[in-house]
Structure 1
Amino acid sequence: MPDNPQTSTPPLGENDFFAISPKLIRPWGKGRFTLFLKQGGSYVLYTRKGEAFTASHREKLDGLGINQVYVQSGERAGYTRYLIDNLKDILDDEGISLEQRSQAWHQASVALTRKLFEERLPKGFSKRRFKEIVELLRSSVDFFAVKGALKHLASLVAPGYKLYNHSLGVTVLTAFVLGTYEHADKALITKCCAGAMLHDLGKSLLDDTVLDADPSQLTNGLLAAFRAHPSAGVGLCSSVPLEQETLNCILFHHEHCDGSGFPSGLGGEALPYYVRVLAVCNEYDGLTRASGWRSALSPYEALYRIKSHKEAFDLDALKRLILVLSNAEIKISN
């Protein structure tokens, strides 16, 4: 066994721990959570919270063929905070499998976006929270370009019907579709992904009965409130330094090429290409995700419906989305 595992803890069950790969642990001087090893049916203390975890600790685990260490469920928040703070190093480490890196990205992203949407802050959100989101996305852009990453990310962001689930789904799709444009550099993709992650922030001010209702069945007043959510989202971001591209993504994500969208009825060349990409990705993710009033469509059904409204959506962006989905081995045929 590794160097001097410490005294066995009081009896705890499987539900009291979750497993992680030792490769996800970066060397640290002061750990944020306690690590355990599993011996038979018992969990043995390896390093305490606050103790150092060095490269030699990990090398010894590798040498012994130990591919899982355990963290107590009560310290999940500390582990998640660790992922957020070390995400770039984890995503850039090719010694960690794509699946594990994707899971780390998803856990860190959910932690940041879930709290943001569920707090329903009437005065917007803090500069600190916005900075964390931007840093997460900057750390992600190179990983988004890794071959095979989308296949793992897509399976992680697909489930769920909450606003933060949808926002993460749109963020991932927008990043990968923009990546097919030669002139879309990392800075632009980061700005647009920030817009994708925040595009429905204005919906956090709406009651669930409105969000779960068929828009065609809403009263005129409630429909107007629903259609104002892009503007409301921009308002909630008034205290943070939004880039123009991020602002455009939030404000115009429901605008259509033919001018039939909302809230401003913009269309044609007035809509930047990256907004048209986001609009297609937003529509696709929304259709393939169940809501309070309808079941999820299959990828094929969603793409068919978007194509049937070809005047409203950018067909080049749609073709690029189809290519991205195909490369991710997502079944898009009938």
Structure 2
Amino acid sequence: MPPSAPPAVAAPATARGLRRLRPLWLVIALAVLGAVAFASVGIGSRDVSLADVIAALGGSTDGFNEAAVAKRIPRTLLAVLAGAALGLSGAVMQGVTRNPLADPGILGVNTGASLAVVTAIATVGLSSATGYIWVAIAGASVTAVFVYVVGSLGRGGATPLKLALAGAATSAALTSLISAVVLPRGDISGSVRSWLIGGVGGGTFSSISQVLPFLAVGLLLSLLSARSLNSLALGDELAAGLGERVAVARGLAAFGAVLLCGAVTAVTGPIGFVGLVVPHACRLLIGVDHRWLLPLSAVLGAILLTSTDVLGRIVARPEEIDVGIITALVGAPFFIYIVRRQKVREL
């Protein structure tokens, strides 16, 4: 038998092994998320006992520790929802563009949402949470379309490298525009700059309830696009030959991803790199089938953002480091690694 035969046999065996482990990895991830969420309500600038955590979860706010835990509960819930949305939107964007570098932050979508919100605050005095969400989604949508159109110009269409460069250039330009809007307005610059860092410390049940319907719609659209993304991964021509309406499938999936990251940005500010790191980690664990990749990306995204929020509370006690800074410190080296290893190829 020729030497090349064993690798040909081993590859399907590896794929079968990944398929068998998919339910197990999802169960493990959910268990880890539960543990991280429980730690999030108990760990902070002031640690509390297990009894206080249980009492606060039961509704008691009589003691100081129990009141502290009660305040951390909406913060933890927001971190879980935001992390899940960002991880899921990153996986969908990578699938839609077939770009291993696709991420709401790298493609400038978060920055577009931020510019829209900041401009609305400065010009019309936008202050309602629902208004933030609608404006952020509009800004994210316009930016996503603009980056894709610019990245599609020229020979070869929307290649991963051209999309990444278009997103980086657009993000830099929009960041400058944000500064131009904020700097002359001393009355709003302090609060806006704090929001632009990205964090979940201001999470409340009121803000969560207002953003939840948008996240639910984005989640539904994204998960329903799993089979379409599997088809698109084969190439547009083959997907069309299999009966897939390529433009419709790509548009619905992209809108679901933009809806998720736009809504999250409105509540937390721009948080980067979660949508880049998480899908790559998920592919290593379960492969490229989006029917499993998307749910696991949501769970691992929630784990990553919640755990980095906890880390930000304890590394500089009694002060806190916003989660947007921690995710940047984690994600930037990973971004460099992906660029060097993938050579910016298509997925």
Q: TM-score, normalised by structure 1?
A: 0.28
Q: Which has the larger radius of gyration?
A: 1
Structure with the higher fraction of residues in strand conformation: 1
Q: Choose between structure 1 and 2: higher helix proportion.
A: 2
